[in-house]
Structure formats: structure tokens, C-alpha cells
Structure 1
Amino acid sequence: MTVPIAIIGTGIAGLSAAQALTETGHTVQLFDKSRGSGGRMSSKRSDAGSLDLGAQYFTARDRRFVTEVQRWQSLGWAAEWTPQLYTFQGGQLNMSPDEQTRWVGAPRMSAITRGLLDGMDVHFACRITEVYRGEQHWHLQDAEGGTHGPFSHVVIATPAPQATALLAAAPKLAGVAAGVKMDPTWAVALAFEKPLDTPMEGCFVQDSPLDWLARNRSKPGRDTTLDTWVLHATSAWSRQHIDLSKEAVIEHLHGAFAELLHSAMPAPTFSLAHRWLYARPATGHEWTTLADVDLGLYACGDWCLSGRVEGAWLSGQEAARRLHESLQ
């Protein structure tokens, strides 16, 4: 009997590792505490259509990732996004054309992780709380008291603070993960019946509680019935207001948006707020992946590299490569 490999987390890092391991002939089982895949690349279905509340777009620099993104594009999971970009600084809005190629999932960000999940053995709404070693193999304990296993290896693909607890069997790795600080982000979506009078489709914001905003309908394949915007607060503002009610967060960020447009903004017909506790690592690292090869325990994620979607994907690839090589 083949003992499968467990992968905890179905964000881009976990799915990248799952894909690479499956391609080299391994059997994997995936676990995720959410009801669906994607982690911070997930999309939220709402009365205003599907909304990308986490990752807004991604770029591809490493040739391996460029090749993978081209594959996603050929499968219809990803498309190029060419927004009218602006910057807002010192009270001034300026156009900000650049040469950067930006990609998004199509028709929503989660199309990519959904595509990668196809045919995989996955347990959703299953929060793993402990990874422990039996006589020969690994076992997982979930929040409901259920156990899963046996597994030959375990790949932990969750944000660093969650990975720390799951790495208890490898104190050195747990110590490294514990040292990673991850920043929070409050995200707000606002929808308007009548399109806002601005050519802006994306904006990098400074000197404001806002850090970024995007016009949803400018992304390929999105619902265009309403003019829906996604706003991200800065890490500093989000940390300062981490326990603010969702209503108050919406009010604050709606106000900051109106200030930026210098206009009396209509009340939105729809609004929602989402708090990402671990939106991005505060600093970039160069580990690529954390591994205790003798134990058969691995950790990967954007926090092991650049904090970007590309970093998460490369980290998952590296975890899979090291695991596969340990068996050769």
C-alpha cells in the first residue's frame, strides 16, 4: 500500500506542491480549514458578483513561473489585466503607466486554484491542529478531534503563525516560522448602481488609510452590472484597527476613497469587509522552503520567499522537489 503525503493548505503554495508531487508519481491528500481553495487567492461570491478580496493580481518574473502562467492562460484560468493605473500621493492623483504585465484569474481569482485542484483528494472545512509522529508514519489531528493518516511526509502550506504550531515536531523549523511577522490587511468591497465618474481602474495610494484600490469590472471576465471597487487598507492602519467592527471599517475606508476622488461619493448599494489577519509577510526571506528531510516535514508559502503569488508557487515547487529527491 502506498502511504500518501499530507498537504495542509490549498492556497497557491500547497497546490503548487501537490501538482509537482502528483506529476512525479506521488499520492497526496490535501486539507484546508476553509470551505474552498485559494487561501488569499480565493474569491468571495456576493450580491455584487464575485470579488477578489485578497491577491489583486500577480506578476511573473522567474522563467519557471512564466511558463506556468502561460499554461494557466492557455487553459483559460488566467488573463492579462491592463488597468488604467494611478498613484495618489500628497493629495494628488496622477496617472501611473508602467510596463509591468499583470495577471489575474479569470473569470475570478479562484479559477486558478480551482483548476489546480481538479482531481485531487481534498478535505475542506477541516482545520488541522496537530501534526504528530506515530511509530513509522505521520498523523494529523483536526479541531473536531478526528485523526487522519498514516502519511509518509507532511507539507505545511499555511501562513507562518499557523505553521508554527503545526511544526511542533520539528522545533528548529517551528522557531524559524515563529520569527516571521505577518501583516494584516482590512479589505472592503463597495458597489455603486451608477458608475463612479473616474477613468481610474487601479491606484497605489500613499498618505492615507488606503494602500490600494481596484475597479472590479476592469478585470477580464468580471460581472459589470454594478461598479464594484475593492479597497485595501495599509498594514499599519489595519493593525491599529484590527478589532474595529466591519461597519466602522467600511465607513472609514469609504471616507478615505471619497477624499481621494475629491467628490461627494454616493452611498454604496452594497458593501462588505473582510479581515486578512495574515495578509503578507512583513519582510521578504530567501529560504524558498523549510525542510527537515530526516523527519519528512516541510513548510512552504509566500513567507518563505517574496510574499508574492510567484513566491508562494516557487516555494511549493521547491518543497516538492526536496521531498521527491529525499526518496531517490
Structure 2
Amino acid sequence: MTAPIAIIGTGIAGLAAAQALHKAGHSVQLFEKSRGPGGRMSSKRSEVGSLDMGAQYFTARDRRFVNQVQQWQAAGCVGEWTPLLYNSNSGVLSPSPDEQIRWVGTPRMSAIGREMLGELPVEYACRITEVFRGTQHWHLQDADGRNFGPFSHVIIAVPAPQATALLATVPKLAAAAAGVQMDPTWAVAVAFDAPLQTAMQGCFVQDSPLDWVARDRSKPGRDTTRDTWVLHATSTWSRQHIDLPKEQVIEHLHGAFAELLDCTMPAPSFTLAHRWLYARPVGGREWNTLADVDLGVYVCGDWCLSGRVEGAWISGSEAARKLIAQLE
């Protein structure tokens, strides 16, 4: 019996690769350091409902990804979000209408990852720290010293700095991943018992610690009864305050939010902060996927392309396509 293919990471890239390989009749085994799939497309459950702390929405331009989004829509796990958008520049708010179609997972962003995963086998709370090759097959070891394998091939679908560490036995690919810088993002959720007096549902922010704010409950299918907002800090502010205690991060970004709306803002009845260490790649690339076909190692992720959700899906799909072609 042929050994399965190991896939490290269950973000959109890893799940796209897993789906394509499974559809082609290949056995896969997924590994995920978190407690659920989706990566930055995951949602945080809380006392005020689910909160999209990572990716806020996504767009679809590539024909292949458009087709995929249509399938998700038919499955009921995505919906179109049509927010009332604003720009804030030097403290001045102005409407920001556009024709772009924005998609979100329904009833929460994590619904997409769960739909993609289906019944595929996955090992959760399992942080892979080493990828090594035996005489014929690949083996993995996690942070607890557990070993997994044998595997015929390995797909690494994690942020570039984490991929670099796992590619010690594939120096060519390790060097490429090591050259990719990824910026952090502090994300804060705040909820208010009474709705804030603003029509705004999303805002692109300049000249502020904030980069983006969204009225999370304005997205389709959300289950919260309170006025929930997600605030994302800029990469620069996040990098400068990377180790700031969460309470102080909340205080800073809540204050910036009050300045943005220029109103007397009540104290929130709920707050939550999350630090994304590897939120977005610096600069775009056109790699699609990285591969050492002879060794049977493939690397994919949004950082191999545009840094967008679409880029992650295309990268994972391309990794699977190359591997399938190798196996034929």
C-alpha cells in the first residue's frame, strides 16, 4: 500500500492541496498546530458570538478561484458582504464606494475551512518541528517528541518563517522561504451593548495606529446580539508593539477607534486581542508553489503569490497539481 502524503498546515493553501489530492484518489494526512482548520480564515468563538479576527473578507479574480467560490456559495458556507465603506485620512472620514464583490464565510469565516476539510484525517494541536527523510520515506516529529510516518511526499503549507525551519533537509527551498519577510498584525475585537451611532460598516484607515475596522455583525449570518467591531492595527504599529500586553493593545486601539469616529464612545462590554505574528507577506511573488520534485517536498501558501486568500488557494492547488503530475 502506498504511503500517504503529509500536509503540514490547514490554512486555505493546505486545505486546497488536500482537497485536490483526495479528489485525485491519493491518501493524505493533515497536521495542524491549532485546534481547528482555516489558519487566518478561522474565527474566534466568544460570549458575544463568533468573531473574524483574521481575514476580514476576500475577493475572487482568477477564473479557477471564482469557480471555487461559486461552489462554496452553493454549499452555503460563503455569502456576499456589501458593507457601507469609508476611508479615513488624517482624521477626515469620507465614503468609499466601489464595485468590488467581497465574500465572507457564513455564518462565520471558519465555515470555509470546515467545508474544505470535510472528513479528511487531521491531527490537531500538533506542532510539527522536524521533517526528515529515512531510506525511502519522509517522517515528521512534533513538539512533544511524537513521530509520524512514513509518508511518500510532504506538503508544507505554513507561513514562510515556519516553513524555513521545517526545510532544513531541503536547503534550496529553505533559502527561498528564508527570503520572505512577513509582517505581524494586532487584532482587537470590541463589543457594545448599544449600537454606536454611525452608519459605517467598514473603514480603510490612514495616519493612525489602525489600518482597518469592521462592524463584524454587519456580515451575513452573524449570530451576535451586540454591536461587535474588529480593529486591525497597521503592520508598523504591530511590529513596534509586538510584545505589548494585550490589555494595553486593547486600550491603544480602542482609543484610536474613538478618535476615528470622533464621538463619545462608551466603554466596551467585551474585548479580545489576538496577535498574528505572520499576518501578511511583504511584497508579492509569482512562485505559485515551491517544489523539490526529486525529494518529494512541496511548499505553498499565500506568501508564494499575492498574500491574499485567492493566492493561498491557487498556491495549494498548484502544489497538488504538480505532485499529481509527478505521480502519474
Does the TM-score normalized on the shorter chain lie above 0.5? yes
- Aligned match of 1:226: 226
Q: Matches of 1:31 and 1:18 in 2, distance apart?
A: 11
Q: Matches of 1:236 and 1:143 in 2, distance apart?
A: 31
- The Cα offsets for residues 154-193 of structure 1, whole Å up to 9 and x where unpaired, read as 0000000000011111101000000100000000000000
Please state how far the C-alpha of 1:224 moved relative to its aligned partner.
3.6
1:181 is the counterpart of 2:149: no
- Aligned match of 1:110: 110
- Aligned match of 2:129: 129
- Deviating 4+ runs (over 6 angstroms): none
1:244 is the counterpart of 2:238: no
- Aligned match of 2:98: 98
Q: Per the alignment, in what secondary structure is the counterpart of residue 321 of structure 1?
A: helix
Amino acid at match of 2:91: G
- Aligned match of 2:211: 211
- Aligned match of 2:8: 8
- The Cα offsets for residues 83-124 of structure 1, whole Å up to 9 and x where unpaired, read as 000000011000000000000000000000001111101000
Aligned residue pair count = 328
Q: Matches of 1:128 and 1:244 in 2, distance apart?
A: 27
Q: Matches of 2:46 and 2:102 in 1, distance apart?
A: 24
Amino acid at match of 2:265: M
Structure 1's unaligned 5+ residue stretches are none
Amino acid at match of 1:32: E
- Aligned match of 1:32: 32
Amino acid at match of 1:211: D
Amino acid at match of 2:218: S
- The Cα offsets for residues 256-276 of structure 1, whole Å up to 9 and x where unpaired, read as 000011111100000010000
1:162 is the counterpart of 2:185: no
Please state how far the C-alpha of 1:2 moved relative to its aligned partner.
2.0
Q: Matches of 1:327 and 1:249 in 2, distance apart?
A: 49
Q: Matches of 1:313 and 1:99 in 2, distance apart?
A: 23
Q: Per the alignment, in what secondary structure is the counterpart of residue 278 of structure 1?
A: strand
Q: Matches of 2:70 and 2:206 in 1, distance apart?
A: 33
Q: Matches of 2:216 and 2:327 in 1, distance apart?
A: 45
Q: Matches of 1:207 and 1:310 in 2, distance apart?
A: 28
Amino acid at match of 1:46: S
Q: Matches of 1:72 and 1:136 in 2, distance apart?
A: 38
- Aligned match of 1:41: 41
Q: % of aligned pairs identical?
A: 75
1:17 is the counterpart of 2:21: no
Q: Matches of 2:221 and 2:144 in 1, distance apart?
A: 39
Amino acid at match of 1:111: A
Q: Matches of 1:209 and 1:153 in 2, distance apart?
A: 43
Please state how far the C-alpha of 1:223 moved relative to its aligned partner.
1.9
- Aligned match of 2:267: 267
RMSD over aligned Cα, in angstroms? 0.5
Please state how far the C-alpha of 1:229 moved relative to its aligned partner.
0.1
Q: Matches of 1:60 and 1:53 in 2, distance apart?
A: 21
Please state how far the C-alpha of 1:24 moved relative to its aligned partner.
0.8
Q: Matches of 1:175 and 1:194 in 2, distance apart?
A: 52
